[in-house]
Structure formats: C-alpha cells, structure tokens
Structure 1
C-alpha cells in the first residue's frame, strides 16, 4: 500500500526504489507491461509503473525515477512530485518500499522508445480490473485519481440565468435522461468485406464477441473521436474529409439501462492495415463477408450493418 504525501513532504528514506505515476488530461495512467520472465524480474508478465532501483550516481530518489524514465522509455517529465511510498511484497514475502512520484504527460505511448518490457499503454482507472496488475498498484492509481478529482477546481460556469450576481445553471426539463454517444467505424474494403474486432474475454462489454471498432466521445467532436480511436485501437490513419455518417442507432442494452446513440461513419479511404494496438481490449481483427457475419456479434452491430447495406440511415434496438 502507498501512503500519500504532499509535494513538500520528504519521501521515506528507507525506500531504495522509485516509480512514476504518469497521467494525462483524459485521466488515464501510463502502464508498462513487463516481460514474462518468472524468477528473473519483479512482477513478470504484469502491468506496472515505470521505475527501478536507486544507483550510486543518483543523488535522490527523484534522480532515480527520472533516470529510469529516460532509460526505459526516453521519457522526460517536467513536473514530477512525491506522492507516496508503495510497500510491495515479493514472492518470498519480503516487503520492498518504493517511492512514488507523480507527473503529467499527454503524449502517444506508442511513440516512446521502450528498452525494457513488452509495451506501454494508457488505461483509465475503471479499466484496471481487466488487467493482470498487482492490487497495490491498482489501489495506488485509483487513490491518485481520486486525489486529482478532490483537488480539481470548481466546475466551469454553465449556461443559465444570473441571479444575485451568480450564474445559476439552467435546469434540465423533467424526465431528461443523458444519452451516451458512441462513435463507430464502418470500414468496408473494395471486395465488400467489413472490418470487425473480437473483444477480449475479460471485456466488461460483450466479451468474446465481434464488434466494429468503436469508442465513446470525450471532450471532442465525433469525427475527431473516430480518427483517434482508429489510430489508438488499430493503427489506422483516417483524414476527416474521407469519412461520412452512414447510420445512427438509438439503443439500450437492457430495459432501464442508460440509452446510447451510436454514430456509424464510413471511411472511404485510409492508410494502414489493422493492427492489435490494444490487445487487452481486442484480440483479433478480421474482414467479414456482410452476408456471412459471425454468430457472436453485438446485436445492434448486426442491425446497423444490415441497415447500411439496405440504405437505411436510422435504427432503434432494445426499446420495448
């Protein structure tokens, strides 16, 4: 477990190792998938933080973590600050104190030059349960995320009326329910086959089921979301002028669930072949004949593909 400290506190002197909690503006954390070398390295085959042991040339543990970031990933963070000490336990039961430093970075993990381990990737705290990760590391990330939320400044003013010199947000009409916006890629090759991905068995949504490349809109436009997800999930490069909206589906998974609006965009041209960029989410990409789609396919995806082929622009699924 890690004991949070303020930036002005001194990191416990008994710690001889240091690791970095790297986070971005989307609230995600940069994790390192370690090589599977049992008996040779710490936490083999697990997702962990970047870091390592203090060496003679390191004047402080902050020097240690900065050196490790540079050596392991060519990464330099300007605003590293102490966060706590994680007490990790090895296979023999021995406790190893690790000084934790936190800092922000908004780059592309795939562009880093990794010299150790398998890969680096961004993960939201809510996705950690799908990973092979030490409970202490998962807890550390979640508590840091909670501390950022608690320290955040007050929400920006919302559109509404001004009363007594204060801006009061406009109330939503009675019965209003927020809808989740999902963006989907309808990628069809010249031979008519359509790209689908097989979702990971541990996925919280539709495990071991085929689905189009998709993601949720963040603080961005739908087309920007589509382009970002295509690159992050499959390494595909798409230009905004090469996409068009071809179908909208308004659906619920089960009666009473939060409704979702799914936007399906066709990419007329793109660069690259589908790659497994997020193997914890998708285990296979494959182009399918739309007349012979897999049996295990997300239901609304099947409805949409049939609708697109029939020239329909809108569908509803899951409603009573």
Structure 2
C-alpha cells in the first residue's frame, strides 16, 4: 500500500491526521472519532470523522490496531507528519544555557561526551546515545621496557600528555639495544603522527630501504604500534544512557517490542553503524520504525545528529532511541542543540 504525499490531502484530512498523530504521541493510545469530535473545533460529526479516518487508513497513513479502537499513525504516516507537518518546538535560551552548563560541568571532553548521552535521555524520556569516533591519538614519545620472559611494556605518551601502557609479546629473548633503537626510532621519526599515520610512514620508509633499523628493532616497532591499533578497534564506541526509560508504563502492554529493542541496543555494532550513517547529514536525521531493518521488529525510532569540532570536522554522532511515538517536535531540536553545544567543547 502506497501512502499519499501530504500535499494531496484535503485541508480537513490534514487536520484530522495531524490531531490523530499528536494525540497518539501524547498518550501512546489510538485516537478515536468520538475523541476528535468532542474537541468541538473540527465542527464535524463522529460519522464524518470516521469517514475521513477510513480514507486515511486506506491511504496507508493510519492503522486500526483493534476493531473500534481508534486509529494510530503507521510508520509511513509518521514520516509524512515529521517531514511536512510537524511544528518544531525550538529550545528556549534557558534550556540552551542549562544544556551547556551540564556539559561544561562534566569536566574533560570524554566526561562531557558521556554526559551528553545522559542529557539526551533526560530530555527525551528515552535512551540517549553518543557514537564516539575512534580516538586518533598522536604520538609524542614511545618507549619499550623489557619485562622478561619474552615480553616488553610499550609506553606511549600522547601529545595531550596522556600515558598508555600495553604489554607486547615478543616470543623470545630481547636485545636491550634493539629496544632502545626501536624506541628512539618511533619518537624521533614518527612523533606528531597518529598511530595509523605512524604505521604507514614506517612501512613506506622500510619498503623504500631508507630505514636504518635492524630486523629485531623493526619487528619491535611493528608490534609496539600494532598493539594500540588492535586495542582501539576492540573498544566500544557507543555510549548508551537511560535504557531503563524504555520500560515505562506504556511499554508494559507491548513487552515483546521492548525486549526486541533492548536486544537491538545490546548489538552495539549494528546501532553504531546506523548512527554512523548520519555522519554526513547536514541536519538531524530521523529513522522511523520499519524504515530501518534493524528496528523493524521493535518498532523504534532514532533521532541522530553529527557533532563537530571547532574546525567543523565531524567527530561523532549523538541521538535518541525510543518508541515511534517520540515527541519529535521537542526532541529533534534538542538533539541538534546538544550536538552543537558538545561541539563547542571539542578542540
């Protein structure tokens, strides 16, 4: 069944459709003709309203979950509403100041990112999510320390002053001279590069025959750099806060849907891929229910927006996930505001 574009709806149909959607978002329950007629502003009888509701159902915009139980919007209907009829509630100056204050109070950028997911959860009454870009650590100093028994401690000092240690398995006796040569090589030649850039520059130099490293030292360099690449790839990059909000009173009658949604959240890789698809978006993106294969069973919606550093580069994506009856008009601008506010803190 193909849904009609909003421009093809009559004024009467548009108004009834809008009220059904807003009523459903507000209560989580189907909206019936008697409820619409009781308002009095439509100046239509319940019979006339039922006729319009039937037409909207035929058009694929509304559905009746039970006989005589009223209508609720379909995913296609919600898309029509969000794209062409929604009245966005812009955040006030006080709300903007409150969000910026909460982010600033969190401390370092890493803490502010976690706080952003909590803020989104509080604002939406659903779950807040932040997709953190893999950390592009730049090297300032690199050293290898012999631990004995075929192991070495690789110590990396970043340009930001952070220190990280990793154990490197060498699998044989270590030559102290090779350890020093490997450490000095990385520090002197590759400082100021990211790990990926360092590894590529090292391979290029070695392949061109320009490296003065012996085989033992070269192997130590490769192992030392690789241990961070492997570790970074395994780190979770999706932060979720407020999943318990998904278990509200309206969820009790649809526990299977909520269970499916929580299972989706457990599968962080798939959710991260969905958020990542919003990285290049010029504005906040909205994924509604069955429009996305991942949430076809749980009937959930995602509102996502990229956040940028001070130079305008996209460094991650944040958003909200919840039932399709999210208050889009309020949550969409709040997600956008939080993304912009977080971006101000990222150098």
TM-score range, shorter chain: under 0.3
Q: Which is greater in Rg?
A: 2
Which structure has more relative contact order (CA 8 Å, sep 6+)? It is 2
Q: So what's the TM-score if we normalise by structure 1?
A: 0.23
Structure with the larger helix share: 2
Greater strand percent: which structure? 1
